[in-house]
Every structure is written in structure tokens, then in C-alpha cells.
Amino acid sequence: MRKTNAYWLVLLGLVFAAIILPLFIFLPSQREHADPWTFLPERPPHTDHSSLMKGPFPDGPSVTEACLACHQEAAHQVMQTSHWTWESQPVTLPGHDEPVRLGKKNAINNFCIGIRSNWPPCTACHAGYGWEDAQFDFKQEKNVDCLVCHDNSGTYSKGNAGFPKEDVDLVSAAQSVGGPTRANCGTCHFRGGGGNAVKHGDLDESLYFPSERIDVHMGKYKFLCTDCHQSQDHNMKGKAISVSFDDENQVACTDCHAPNLHKDDRINSHVASVACQSCHIPSSAKQHATKTHWDWSAAGEDIPEDPHVYLKKKGRFEYQKDLLPEYSWYNGLADHYILGDPINPDTITVITSPRGDISDPDAKIWPFKVHRARQIYDAENNYLIQPKTVGKGGYWTDFDWDKAARLGSEAVGLEYSGHYGFTDTEMFWPITHMVSGKEEALQCVDCHGESPRARMNWEQLGYPGDPIYYGGRQLDRTGKLSNAGGGRHVN
């Protein structure tokens, strides 16, 4: 009897199979993409540390020591990351005999130019305590600043050389610790260049509580920075070409989103040559104007000051809100001016520039904020100078360029001829934050045709003309450019 029972079950199974199988085969399938939410990290509730961090804590390092009592690996991990080292792994560069390490530690830019000999105010953003000069000990675990990233009280802040400011209540800050919030990241990254919105254009204090129109991830979906900049052993994903050469451990839209998810094939055909950011970030600096030009040569005048127009210490500025990006090919790698590299003072020196061109299959058209400046260089040796600006003998104290150049050059170990001048420089800053919702993504007319909205310079990008008429670039199987828009395919 038991056998019969099993038998009718099989029969019933067959009946269901006869219904379900055809349904499964013939129902029209829809193009399904993995749900992007599945790629987001979990946010486990953080342990309440208020009973664990009793204090008293006389200074920052004593908090760190308390942390390390349980999180023994933490400081060691942080010390491997660029938040601590402020430099990269050594990279072999053409024109340099020795491998080069690049990072905030030694990079030159066209904002405040460089940190060497100017440490205390710059290193206020170092995830450590006490970097006051070249002698800072990068091996001291207790000098790692846990609170700058993990304080959740919102009361912690750092002053010169990264020491906590006088009025910070270290006990309550230590008791509040949790995962990094927007405030933890923003305190340094939104204020790059010495103030809100100065440097990046796509990172500023509007991102603390952005509207959907400013950033769809953070505004509509309440993302934290760490939802995309996920970390492994305190090593955060993400980097920018102002201080690095490569795109290892980089964050990408496609970490969560399928690259060809557009319903429209015409749009999907763009993704081989156009970065997501190019269409989905129509403009940066959406709420706060960002600096676009800095003329150091105008500094030193006793004329009325306005932090967005002129400061005696720094010179003349231009700021722009709702900044339209400039577009360039970018394959994830970058060139960077290294102190001592020769320049031609009569042309523009590009300090950071994206690598890639129309014939590079890995390159895509990316949006950039280009920061242009006029900055000091050695008029005989023909290289850029990293002047001393801060402190005794610095330009901001004595307003003497010659002295600032001499002291700065000593600090970086470059010869100074005694003659200086000012030359034009450019830095490319990739735009990748402030992603708009799809409703505000660029439309065809924003790049193509003769519309007054068209914003691409196709000839500059290497096309013979607008690819909507001339055809796009075609790469053959070996990745070689077989047609840079020279014509269209004919059947």
C-alpha cells in the first residue's frame, strides 16, 4: 500500500510539472539585473561603549591606548592605509630613476601647493596625533587617531598637527564611538583645500544632509559614505588622482549597478565609451560654489578681502556654483607632476591629468573639475616650487616669496636658484559624487547636435566631429581603434 501512495505522489508531481514547465519556458522573460541593494554592507548596531570607555583621558593617544586594549589589530591596520601613511606604494615612473611614492605627504597641487614645512595646519586632517614636522614617528600605534573616524558624538574636532582641540571632551567622544558617519568623513573631505567646497567640487558640506537633487544616493536613499567606500581591515575603498596614480581598490558605480541596465539600447551603447558619471552628474558644486581659479601671484596686496575673491595671504580666486564639468578620456590611471620635474613656464603645466585617449579601449569619457592656478616656480631651474607658507619665515607670515621659496625648497630638498616667477598650472579632479537621479541625467541634446546645451568638444576628444553624425569609436577585437568616428557601418 505504501508503494502505491508514493506512486500517486509522483503522478501528482508529473501533473504539476506539465503545467509549470511550459509556463516557465514560454512566459516572456524580462531582463533582470541583480538588485543593487544586495551589494550594500550591513550596518550592524554598534556596541555601546559608554561603560567601556570610563576615562579619564588626558590626551588623544590615551584614548587610542584604551581602544587598542580590545581592538589590538586596529592601529596596525590603520597604519597600512593612506589615511595614515599619506603616500602610495612605490611606482616606477618614466623619467625617474627611483620608484616614486606619491601621496599627500609629498604631492604638489595648485591649491596650498604642498604640506612639507607647512605641516601643522595641514596635518590637522591626518588620522593621527602630532605630525608637526618631518620627524613624525609613523611607527607609534598610540598616535593613531581612532576618534576622528569613529566619534559619533559630533563634538570631536582636531586642531594643528592633528591634536584634539582644547575644548573636546575626550571621555564623551570615546564613549560615543561607532561606525564612521558622514560627519566623520566630511570634516576633512568636505573641507579639502582649507574650507567648505574649495577643492573637489563634488564633495562639500551640502552632502551632510543633501536633497535628492544634490545626491540621489545620500539624499533619497540615505547612504553613508561608507556604504560605497567599504573597508577591509580599515583600508577604505576609493582614491583620487590628485594624490595617486592608479585605480586599485577604487569604488565604481558598477560595484552595485549593472553597466547595461538602461532600457534603451541607444543609451547602453554609450557605456563602452562614456563613464556613468558623465551623464549622471550634470554639474558639480550644486549648492556651494567651488574654487576654479587661484592666482597666487596677486597675493600680498593690502586691498579689501573676501574669502571668495581675494585674500592677501593667498591671492585672487574664482569660485563657481553649479559647475559644468570638463570632459576627458580617463582609463583609471593618471599622470602626476613630481617635484623637480622640468616645466615649460610659457605653457600650462598639468599637475594631474587623467590618462587615456580615444584609442584606449579602457578609457571612457569622464567629467572633471579642472582647477587652474598661477603658482610659483623656479625661474632658472624651471620647476615648480613648494613654498613655505605657514609659520616662521613662511609667506603668510612675512609676505616674502623669495624667503618662502628658499625655506620651502630646503624642506623638500630641491635647489632654489634665487629667481622665481609665476606660471599657469592645471589639475584635473574627477567628478564622481553628487549623482543626480535619472530624471536629471543628461539627455542627447546635452552633448550632441547644435543645441545651445551641447557641452562636448568632440574634436578635442579625438573625434572628427559629433559621433551622432560621424559615428562613434569602434575598437576591434584586439582593442585597437579601427574607426574613430570616421564613418558609419554599411550593410
Partner 1 sequence: MSIKRASIAIFWMMLAGTLLFAQEQRQFHPTFPLLDGDGQNVLYSGKPVSTMTTCQTCHDTRFIEKHSQHSWLGMQDLAAMDSSAIRGPYGRWNPVDFRYFDRDKLDLSLTEWRTVFGSKHAGGGAAAREPFDKAALQTVEMNCFLCHLPNPDNQARLKALRSDAPAWANTATLAQTGIVENKGGWQWQRAAFDGEGNLKQAYSQMSTPSDANCALCHDHVHRNPLEPFTLGQPTGVNVSKTGEVFSSQRIFDSGLNIAGKDTLARAWDVHAERLVACVDCHFSTNHPNYYAESDATRPDHLKFDPRRMSLRNYLEKPSHQLAAGPHENSSGAVVSCQSCHQADQSHDWLPYKDRHFAVMSCESCHIPRQLTPAIREVDWTLITPAGGPRVDYRGIDGAPGDPTKLITGFRPVLLPRMDEDGLSRLRPYNLITGWFWVMGPDEKPVPLAVLKAAFLNGNGYRRDVMERLDQDKDGRLEDGERARADQETIRFLQDLLAGQGVENPRLKGEVHPYAINHGVSNYRWVISECTTCHSDNSILYQPVNLSGKGPGASAPAFADNIAPVVEGAILSGQGGGFNFKPAPRAHGLFVLGHDTLSWLNIAGIALFLMTLLGIALHGGLRVIASRKHGHQEQPVKKVYMYHTYERFWHWLQALAIMLLIFTGIIIHAPQHYGWLDYAFTVHMHNILGFILLANAFFSAFYHFAGGEIRQYLPEPRGFFSQAISQTLYYLQGIFKDAPHPFEKEPGKKLNPLQRVIYLIILNILLPVQIVTGVLIWGAQTWPQISNALGGLTVLVPIHSFAAWLFAAFLIMHIYLTTTGHTPMANIKAMITGWDELPATEDHKESKA
Bridge partners (DSSP) listed for residue 422: 376
Task: Report which secondary-structure segment, H or E, holds 470.
Answer: helix 467-470
Name the one range near partner 1 by CB under 8 A: 219-227, 253-261, 414-422, 444-452.
Answer: 444-452
Distance (Å) of CA 76 to CA 50, 140, 469: 24, 9, 56
Q: Does 16 bind partner 1 (CB under 8 A)?
A: yes
* Contacting residue, 47, 50, 269, 451, with partner 1 by CB under 8 A: 451
Residues in 118-147 at the binding interface with partner 1, rule: CB under 8 A: none
| Side-chain-facing half-sphere of 77: CA atoms under 13 Å | 12
- 28 touching partner 1, by CB under 8 A: yes
Q: Is 96 in the site for partner 1 (CB under 8 A)?
A: no
346 binds partner 1 per the rule CB under 8 A: no
Lookup: cell for 154: 559630533
Q: How far is CA 209 from the centre of its chain?
A: 19
Contact 167, 156 (CB under 8 A): no
Residue 14 engages partner 1 in binding (rule: CB under 8 A): yes
Picking from 423, 390, 426, 422, the residue whose alpha carbon sits closest to that of residue 407 is: 390
Q: Which residue type is seen at 385?
A: I
CB of 80 to partner 1, least distance (A): 34
> Pick from 83, 286, 388, 448: which binds partner 1 (CB under 8 A)?
448
Residue 12 interacting with partner 1 (CB under 8 A) = yes
Exactly one of 5, 51, 135, 232 binds partner 1 (CB under 8 A); which one? 5
Q: Binding pattern to partner 1, positions 368-407, x when CB under 8 A?
A: ----------------------------------------
Q: What number of chain residues touch partner 1 (CB under 8 A)?
A: 37
- Interface with partner 1 (CB under 8 A), residue from 450, 477, 478, 489: 450
Strands (E) located in 271-419: 290-295, 310-311, 315-320, 326-330, 334-336, 349-354, 364-378, 383-384
From 2, 139, 263, 489, residue interacting with partner 1 (rule: CB under 8 A): 263
Q: In this chain, which stretch among 3-11, 102-110, 280-288, 378-386 interacts with partner 1, using CB under 8 A?
A: 3-11
Could you tell me which of 422, 347, 316, 350 has the C-alpha nearest to residue 379? 422
Q: Is 92 in the site for partner 1 (CB under 8 A)?
A: no
The window from 67-75, 368-376, 416-424, 435-443 that contacts partner 1 (CB under 8 A) reads: 435-443
Pairwise CA distance, residues 404 & 313, whole Å: 12
Alpha-carbon dihedral sign for residues 151, 154, 160, 164: negative
Query: Does the footprint of partner 1 cover residue 6 (CB under 8 A)?
Result: no
Q: Does 44 bind partner 1 (CB under 8 A)?
A: no
- Please tell me whether residue 98 binds partner 1 under the rule CB under 8 A: no
Identify whether the C-beta of residue 106 lies closer than 8 Å to the C-beta of residue 87. yes
How many whole angstroms from its chain centre is CA 218? 16
Under the rule (CB under 8 A), what is the footprint of partner 1? Answer: 4-5, 7-8, 11-12, 14-16, 18-19, 22-23, 26-28, 30, 94-95, 263-264, 266, 438-440, 443-445, 448-453, 459-460, 468
